[in-house]
Each structure stands twice: as C-alpha cells, then as structure tokens.
A = this chain, B = another copy of it.
C-alpha cells in the first residue's frame, strides 16, 4: 500500500462557458466535479495503475463530504482524511469554449487549528505502519506551520518508510533539510530552492541540501534525475500537444509506482515520463491516455548523464 498526503485537499470544479468576459454574466453550460489536491491526483493515477492507495490530509464541510463521496467511488483508493471544522476549499477552472483558455479561481482552504494539526500528525504516524512509500504533496493550508513537511519527512524516516516530497517555496526548503528520499521539483521550484536555473547544477545542489534523489520535471524535455546510483535524463520520443495540468502529479505517481515495484531508477524514470506525457495528451485535465502510456513505456529514452557536477 502507498500513502499520499494532501494537506490542502480540494473539490476541483470545471465550468465550461461560451466566452469569459469580465463584468458580464455567464451561463455555465457544463459542470464537472472531482476530488483534487496534488496527493489526491497522485493517488488516482496510482490506483489506475493497479496499486492500493490510502489518501490522507484534511476534510471538512459540505465540500469535504463531496470529496469523500467521490473518493469512495474510486477503486483501490482508501479514504483516511482527517475531519476539520473548516470547509475543504473549492478550485474553479473556467474553460472558455471559444479560445480553449482556462481561468483558475482557487479558494484559500480552511484554517487548520493547532489541535487539528496535532490530530493529523497522530493519524499520519499510525498510517505509516506497513506502507511501501509515502508522498507528501502540494501547498499548506492556513494554520499549518511552514515546517510541517520537515516534521512529516522525519516521522516517515523514523518509521523506515521511503518518502517523496513534492511542494515548493519555504515548505520545500525546510522539508529538504529533513532529508526526504526523493523530491520532484519543476524547473521554477528547483531554481527557487537552489538559486540556479541550470538543471544539472541545481539537481546536484538540491541533493547536497538533503534530498536523497532529485527528479526535476522539465516540461516537454522530460525528467532529469540525480540519485545516489547515478544521474539520468528521461525524454519522451516527441513533444505532445495538450494540457500540462496534472503532468507533474502523474510523474510522482510513476516514481512511486516504480519504487513500490522495486524497479531500478532508469525504469522508474521511464514510467514517470510515459505517465506525464500521456497525461498532457489526454482530453480531460489530470487523466492519462492509457494506450499512449503503454506505447511510451517502449519509447522513452533514458540516458546516463556523465557530465561532472
């Protein structure tokens, strides 16, 4: 079983409108809802790959109930969300049917009380028993201390559970210092952490700061990994068109899936790159095209990086 943590869970709502015009009134032609937040997205992809997954984080209010009702419909996903008094946030993606553009409105999320944060830490420590790996994903809701991920990384390491951290800014900086097994920053997050936009240099620097392995997601160029066993670049055979939303979460799912299946690093990177690419090309944001994924497993190129850091 794999555990994913999403402290800022969300109900992701998508609206289709003819054309979004500020100051006008719009009739929404189509409404879709699904549970969201990065760890929830990772769990959905892992479950689609056949893994048993448990999701934890916070849930509250009417939106939290909808998130839980919808999670209950996903095979192989177990709900271990911790109840809070505030309401789970909504995110609204407004898709303009004329241009295809998406405008995003993100609620801030509930304020977590110190008692709720303590209750979560206890639940998390219990959930780590017998877990193959844990992923800590996304932003922190108001009220959770900025060092939250550092603490959760330490608890996982103390329990002997491999831990992947996927966040940004100060929570990432502090989390890295607690020595997570893997981090998966994108180019901007990596540059913010290390001060360098030169990916080879930055991945090495992030390892020196405490990360066991650094897998940088470089958009259409694929992944660059710096690990204890070596450094590799994984590249899709050709660029794909589509929506990059969720591609990073799919890459995390691929890394965890390969870790759970005891694959060597190059095969984990192949899986992660194939999933991310198949997510970009899927018609629904955050879903992946299974046929393309299976095809790409044979076509992603993984090459060892031999440049001296």
User: Which chain A residues have a beta carbon within 8 Å of chain B's beta carbons?
Assistant: 15, 17, 20-29, 31, 62-63, 65-66, 69, 92, 94, 96, 99, 101-108
Contact = CB atoms under 8 A, between A and B. Distances in A.
Contact of A107 (B28, B66, B102): B28
A66 B29 CA distance: 23
B62 A26 contact: no
Given A23-B96, A23-B101, A25-B103, 6 more contacts: A21-B103, A23-B102, A25-B106, A26-B105, A26-B106, A29-B108
Given A22-B22, A96-B22, A103-B22, A108 B62 contact: no
Contact of A105 (B23, B28, B99, B108): B28
Nearest to A92: B92
A196 B96 CA distance: 36
Contact of A22 (B63, B66, B92, B101): B101
Nearest 9 pairs between A and B by C-beta?
Answer: A25-B104, A23-B101, A62-B66, A62-B62, A28-B107, A20-B22, A22-B103, A26-B105, A31-B107
Contacts of A63: 62
A138 to B, nearest CB: 14
Contact of A28 (B21, B22, B31, B108): B108
Contact of A108 (B23, B27, B66, B104): B27
A106 B29 CA distance: 9
Contacts of A65: 62
Contacts of A21: 22, 103
Interface centre among A27, A103, A104 (most CB of B within 10 A): A103
Contacts of A103: 20-26
A209 to B, nearest CB: 28
Nearest to A30: B108
Contacts of A17: 105
Contacts of A92: 92, 105
A123 to B, nearest CB: 24
A72 to B, nearest CB: 14
A54 B63 CA distance: 27
12 contacts: A21-B22, A21-B103, A22-B22, A22-B103, A23-B99, A25-B103, A25-B106, A28-B106, A31-B108, A62-B63, A92-B92, A92-B105
